[in-house]
Amino acid sequence: MGAILTGTWWSAVNVAMWPYWVVIGLAIYSQFKIIGLMLPPGGRISGTRLARLLGSWRRGGARQGSADLAAALKLMVADGRLPVGTRLPSERELTDALPVSRTTITAALDQLRAEGVVESRRGSGSWINGPVGGGGGITGFDDTLIDLSRAAPPALPSVRAAMDVALAQMPEHLASHGYDERGLLVLRQRIADRYTARGLPTSPDQIVVTSGAQHAWALVLRLFVGPGDRVLVEQPSYPNALEAVRASFGIPVPVPMLNDGWDVDGYEAAVRQAGPRLAYLIPDFQNPTGLLMSPTQREALSAVLRRARTPAVVDETLVELGLDVPVMPLPMAAFGGDSVVTLGSASKSHWGGLRIGWIRASAEIVHRLLSTRAAIDLGTPVFEQLVLASLLEDPETVLAQRRAEALEQRDVTVAALRAHCPQWSFTVPSGGLGVWCTLDGPVSTRIAVVAQNHGLRLVPGPRFAVHGGCEQMLRVPYTQSPEVLREAIGRLGVVAASVAGTGFPADADVSVPVA
């Protein structure tokens, strides 16, 4: 009885004192954080494992050792192989594992600290503090590099003319409040007409205008996917789409691509085993492989997803860029019906700076999307919508110019790759904006690191994979002018030869800038 009374008394004291315990706890937490005993979440990587992941990271000799090491570590952070919060080995352990001098290790870490990639605290070591950003990191802007990281072309002259038309139309819109969660009717009608012309009857009420396809994908994920839900994705796939799944706390489940396209049997097994909430597909000149899904595959894959009651989200960002395709297959929604949500964009066909995309879906899904959109944004800018509406008034004239430009650039790229990188293999894409190359070894990340020293920015193959891999693959976009592409791929040949350890090609006539 006494014990019970004592316990009751102590519980009462605890209840009365809880505000003080909270204050004391916060004070203790603050002190622990100050003295470095509280560390960000994340595992620790050993020196041996880090050395193995780094591979042959040197590119400029002993004098540039610290810069080379910092660049290699930054690429691993950007590549996702060193996640935020990962604790790094001590300087002494790194010195033994690499092996390099302690001075080289210290200088490399100092550079990463200055750029915000690494944070250190006395007595607690160092850890990855954040992703590589614009402070000199590999994803930062540097106009001295030829950018082969973005498969996005510059604007056509027709965009400037469309802006003049849109500017003349703006006064009639200035008297309104300017908010329209669906998008301007004139633009929705012309987007719907484009689907109808492709064999998929569509009304303006089935269209929602967004601020790009990535924004459209984020809206769809918000509607369909909750924490822990699985989303089937192609392997390889578009990196930003994969990041959007993770940002929505979903789990991307990869289904490997075959050499000739989509593995329908693999998707059937995946929906049975994973119970996915969504499937994300790029059937038209898939990014990064450039593959085009055949009508037979579209029908079979749509049937698999319908039976499993798994909605398909189809990204058609590249659909208008067929180069060697006399007749495009019907859209996936023609096979999957209301279970298919289609994403479109003007970024590849017209210009990324317009930031205009759209969603085509059933009336019921459109209603649900609009009911949740206000939590994210209140509509897409009017001026940009008017610009795209003008471009879509006579779409084939504009698109023919884009396709002719892309065809020339693709052929230049293919010829240059065969000349300067003969040890690589690839299938000439029938459309899209990039060539997916199979390298002569698992050296994609090493090539991307070394390429920076030769004035090139590249995305290593593992960025296109869900859990790493694709180390023997590299995407080479053809969105620059033919002259720039020839120069860039000439430099790439030098990089590939040096990474392979075969020296420089004897006939290389390439001006390699000094970084």
- 15 pLDDT higher than 70: no
Record the tokens describing residue 234, joined without a space. Answer: 């192609």
Q: Which residue has the tokens 């459309």?
A: 431
Across the chain, how many H-helices and E-strands are there? 18, 13
In order of their start, the domains of the chain are 47-128 (1.10.10.10), 146-154+397-499 (3.90.1150.10), 157-394 (3.40.640.10)
pLDDT at 68: 83
- Across the range 378-393, mean pLDDT stands at 97
515 or 67, greater pLDDT: 67
Sign of CA dihedral 207, 227, 77, 84: positive
What's the full length of the chain, in residues? 515
- 370 pLDDT higher than 60: yes
- 498 pLDDT higher than 60: yes
pLDDT at 83: 72
Q: Mean of the per-residue pLDDT values for the chain?
A: 86
Using alpha carbons, select from 221, 129, 237 the residue that is nearest to residue 463.
237
- 348 pLDDT higher than 90: yes
Cβ proximity of 76 and 130 under 8 Å: no
| HEC secondary structure over 42-106 | CCECCHHHHHHHHCCCCCCCHHHHHHHHHHHHHHHHHCCCCCCCCECCCHHHHHHHCCCCHHHHH
- Each residue of 108-136: pLDDT tens digit? 999 898 888 898 888 778 988 865 443 33
Tell me the whole-structure pTM to 2 decimals: 0.73
- 410 pLDDT higher than 90: yes
pLDDT at 63: 62
% the chain with pLDDT above 70: 84
- Each residue of 55-99: pLDDT tens digit? 777 765 556 788 888 888 887 776 556 777 788 999 889 888 888
* Res. 18 pLDDT band, cuts 50 70 90: low
- 344 pLDDT higher than 60: yes
- Across the range 262-281, mean pLDDT stands at 96
DSSP 240-278: HHHHHHHHTT-EEEEEEPBTTB--HHHHHHHHHHH--SE
pLDDT at 479: 96
- Each residue of 25-67: pLDDT tens digit? 544 444 433 333 334 445 788 888 888 878 777 765 556 788 8
Using alpha carbons, select from 396, 402, 392 the residue that is nearest to residue 209.
392
Contacts of 12 (CB under 8 A, 6+ apart): none
* Res. 12 pLDDT band, cuts 50 70 90: very low
Q: Which residue has the tokens 């994403």?
A: 343
pLDDT at 17: 53
